[in-house]
Amino acid sequence: MQLTEFKNKVYPLRHKVFRLAKWMLNHDEEAEDVAQEIMLKAWTMRDKLSSYKSIEALLITMTKNLCLDKIKTMRYSTSNILFLKIESTVPSQLERILSQEDETIIRQIVEELPEQQRLVIRLRSIEELSFDEVSEITGLTINNIRVTLSRARKTIHERYQKYMGNEKK
């Protein structure tokens, strides 16, 4: 794979890698280091990349594993993920729809989901990976992913609606 192709197909994935690492490690700088490491690994194996079905799934899996290793060895705290400060570059259209408070509440609801649901929601709804890719990363069957996704989505909406109902009273 030539540099141009790498630049077009692989390098744009760095943001996804970073977001996943940031979410797993709850640490911006560590997540950036992980993204560097993963992108460099991808660069060194650039000649083999085209033989993979989905480069995206490959990089996300590598990221997941690297983060899990880091968590094991360094015992990152992931407990205070709810209080993470959000990025300030939210587009204005979104700001109108989603207040800071909404965002905190929804984040809390999503983070309280069982681990597998959290991961599937993240890969599918946030990172927009295909069912095939999510299956490759998580090892779940596509049918299982659909069920997990459905449970997660229903729970999120039920809990959020309940919260909104309480607010109105």
Partner 1 sequence: MKKNEIDQLIKKYHEGNTSEAEDRMLEEILMNDSSEEHISERKVMAFFTTERSAGLSAQFDSRFMKAIGKSPLRKSKMLMVWTIGIAASIAIFTVVVYLFNGYDRQVQNKTITTGLNERKEIQLPDGSTVFLNHKSAIRYDEDFEERKITLTGEAYFDVKSDKKNPFKINTLGSVTEVVGTSFNLMSNDENGVVELSVVKGSVTFSAYKDQLQERVFLSAGNQAVFDRKKNSMKKYEVSDPNILAWKTGLLVFDDSRIEEVALMLGRYFDHQVIVDNKALLNCHFNARFQKPSLSEVLDLLSFTMNIKSEIKGDTIKLYGNGCSQ
Which residues of the shown chain bind partner 1 in the complex (CB under 8 A)? 3-4, 7, 11, 14-15, 18-19, 22, 32, 35-36, 39-40, 43-44, 86-87, 89-94, 97-98, 102-103, 106-107, 110, 125-128, 130, 145-150, 153-154, 156-157, 160-161, 164
Burial-class residue 133 by CB neighbours within 10 Å (0-12, 13-18, 19+): buried
Least distance in angstroms from the C-beta of 53 to partner 1: 16
* H-state helical runs in 9-91: 14-25, 28-44, 55-74
Total residues found in the chain within this entry: 169
Q: Are the CB atoms for 64 and 22 separated by under 8 Å?
A: no
The nearer residue to partner 1, 93 or 166, going by C-beta atoms, is: 93
- Specify whether the CB–CB gap between 123 and 129 falls below 8 A: yes
Identify which of residues 72 and 92 has a Cβ nearer to partner 1 in the complex.
Answer: 92
Q: How far is the CB of 128 from partner 1 (least distance, A)?
A: 7
CB of 56 to partner 1, least distance (A): 13
Which of 117, 126, 123 is CA-nearest to residue 154? 117
Q: Min. distance of Cβ 72 from partner 1 in angstroms?
A: 25
